[in-house]
Amino acid sequence: MKKILRAYWLVISLHALVQIACYVFLAYDRTPADFIVNVVIWPTAAGSAGILFASWIDRRLSSYSSYAMSAASTIIAWTIIHVNYDIRIIMATCLLPIFSSVLFFNKKGVWVYGSLLPCK
């Protein structure tokens, strides 16, 4: 469980760092304040809240840990997708909750989170 939480922290940290690097090296039509607040701070805060909630559930109600981990990965995936919707492959982050359910051998979770994938 701790390794998965560390991996989630790594994902949101790397996402924030990559977003900042992209803003520095690529041309954006946003002001620096708008970019920092809406592309870096809010998604990082949402992902962090999901991870903190999952770690709290893991400590207090360990029987629901797999659901909390899958919910945290869903929050992380959808915030990353919301910020980077113009990138074609970004929808692959929807697989993060499914992989989380597979790691916990949660067949019901795989079906539930698989049904949340957007259809084209």
Compute the half-sphere exposure of residue 38: CA atoms within 13 Å on the CB side of its CA: 9
Q: Which amino acid is at 104?
A: F
> Residues 58-107: pLDDT tens digits?
899 988 887 788 788 888 888 888 888 777 666 667 776 777 777 767 67
> Residues 7-61: pLDDT tens digits?
889 999 999 999 999 888 888 888 889 889 988 999 999 999 999 999 999 899 9
Q: Considering Cα of 52, then 71, then 44, then 42, what sign does the dihedral take?
A: negative
pLDDT score of 102: 74
Contact indicator for 46, 83 with CB cutoff of 8 Å: no
Query: Per the structure block, which two tokens stand in for 29?
Result: 């039509």
> Residues 48-70: pLDDT tens digits?
999 999 999 989 998 888 778 87
Q: What is the pTM of this model?
A: 0.75
